[in-house]
Structure 1
């Protein structure tokens, strides 16, 4: 179980404030085109949509107000739905060794940390058979605006089932029947006047 837990939590491999944990399901497809996560412009309606007032911790309120004042299009609920989608996709990409998806979802330092861990895993002949069971909660725990650079930190409380297999497919650690509770703190960044509407993962930590 300890080995499985360490394989599950990228934090133990990458260290604090670098590139966290698991990957998430691959991007959804729409008419053959990949729909990339855009936390500012997510169209999907969450179920249920939690009121914005309950999605922001007190320490983050001032920063969120600054973001709203600087960008009238910013919406807390839509951002969190997009962030949850990105959380799932990043975890899946890491688990599957999908470097291309990580490239457009993460900043260079975070991607480098993920790729280093993937390289080590592949060199050992191991694969991850992980599954994101559910995201129980996502809340903005911090937010700031430095010039045009917006930074938003989100705490994710999730249940993840994790299994590590060897080159022959044998289970060497973990279990798909027992989900592990995880508490991740991910920071996303975006330049407000950028033509790119996507937020990228810039830091990871554990709560």
Structure 2
């Protein structure tokens, strides 16, 4: 996908993610990075917490432990929704589509994205992004505390990115080069809420 993608297709993709997120709610840069969010998350995961899903028995994965506490949770559906959200957020960021980002990311991440998009606009630059495919999506950590669940997913994907100036000169990237992108994104929702929408609250790249 790229910046010339049919708007109807983009609307359809957002609808697909919304559908997945509704199902998930039934349980219990080229993106800019949020270093502060990562530091908070890393610090939180080093402390002992009541209700934190960190210690799993042999053979259990973090998502298996969540499913034990709530049998309605579907790990496959969660990952499908997370992968769809990843692709849509990448496209929305490249296109400067703030409205789509508002539906899928939390306030802190949205602020970072908005500032990066505004910077491109001020420089009169355009980011073209083509999503080639997802190689891998793996849950790396799960945290539950005080009615909030956080799931960190490591994505490995292939993309083509090119930043162009107003006169179409290439500022960064290569339109002929496929780049492997490795990101860890953290999604969160309020488990005690009747409307449980998963939101992207932190991003980190390798």
TM-score by structure 2 length? 0.72
The separation in 2 between residues aligned to 1:59 and 1:114, in whole angstroms, is: 34
The structural deviation recorded for 1:111 is 0.2
- Residue number in structure 2 paired with 1:72: 71
Residues 138 and 34 of structure 1: is their aligned pair in 2 closer, same or farther, counting only changes over 3 Å? closer
1:41 aligns with 2:23: yes
SS in 1 for 2:162: strand
Output aligned runs, 1:150-169, within 5 Å: 150-169=149-168
- Residue number in structure 1 paired with 2:31: none
1:85 aligns with 2:67: no
SS in 1 for 2:174: strand
- Residue number in structure 2 paired with 1:28: 12
The separation in 2 between residues aligned to 1:76 and 1:169, in whole angstroms, is: 43
The separation in 2 between residues aligned to 1:109 and 1:138, in whole angstroms, is: 23
Residues 192 and 72 of structure 1: is their aligned pair in 2 closer, same or farther, counting only changes over 3 Å? farther
SS in 1 for 2:89: helix
Contact preservation (8 Å) 1:40, 1:78: no
1:190 aligns with 2:172: no
Residues 124 and 59 of structure 1: is their aligned pair in 2 closer, same or farther, counting only changes over 3 Å? farther
- Residue number in structure 2 paired with 1:21: none
> Deviations along 1:60-88, whole A, 9 cap, x unmatched?
75643442244332111110000000000
The separation in 2 between residues aligned to 1:63 and 1:152, in whole angstroms, is: 9
Give aligned pairs, total: 165
- Residue number in structure 2 paired with 1:22: none
- Residue number in structure 2 paired with 1:127: 126
The separation in 2 between residues aligned to 1:140 and 1:36, in whole angstroms, is: 18
Which structure dedicates a bigger proportion of its chain to strand?
Answer: 1
Which structure dedicates a bigger proportion of its chain to helix?
Answer: 2
Contact preservation (8 Å) 1:27, 1:89: no
SS in 2 for 1:177: coil
The separation in 2 between residues aligned to 1:179 and 1:163, in whole angstroms, is: 11
SS in 2 for 1:187: strand
- Residue number in structure 2 paired with 1:100: 99
What stretches of structure 2 of length at least 5 have no aligned partner?
1-8, 25-53
Contact preservation (8 Å) 1:93, 1:102: yes
SS in 1 for 2:149: strand
TM-score by structure 1 length? 0.72
- Residue number in structure 2 paired with 1:19: none
RMSD: 2.4
The separation in 1 between residues aligned to 2:177 and 2:85, in whole angstroms, is: 24
